[in-house]
Amino acid sequence: MSWLLKDANVLSSAVVFTPKARAWPWERGSVLTREQSVVLQGRHLLHSFLAGEKVLVVVCDKEMNVISLRSLAPNRIGGLTFRSGAIVMIPARVSANSDIHVGDKLELRG
């Protein structure tokens, strides 16, 4: 398990899926808890079908600098991502406690 950090403060635990992963993250939804963030590396179709709640979609470059933020309502499709280093999907209850803005630097440990 990895940890998602901002300014050396832990935001949440994170499950990381790389392009080489054989299953989509949502196919493994049973291993996720409602407090975990999902980090998608590479091209992915964004959706919130199994999240069951609103999610904050954080688009990062290869150095994990935040370049875009958007909200995705439950049971919605967010589109394909092409030019990002990583996409971080943070559940609404976790993102409410984190103060993430464009230009912030996130970090993955673990």
Lowest mean pLDDT among 4-18, 38-52, 61-75, 83-97: 38-52
Higher pLDDT, 76 or 29: 76
Structural domains of the chain, count:
1
- Please state the rounded mean pLDDT for residues 10-24: 75
Read off the pLDDT of residues 65-81 as tens digits, 9 standing for 90 and up. 999 898 888 888 877 77
Rg, C-alpha atoms of the chain: 12
The domain containing residue 83 runs over which residues? 2-109
To the question of pTM greater than 0.85 for the whole model, the response is: no
> At 106, is the pLDDT very low, low, confident or very high (cuts 50, 70, 90)?
very high
CATH number at residue 14: 2.60.120.1140
Residue 105: what pLDDT?
95
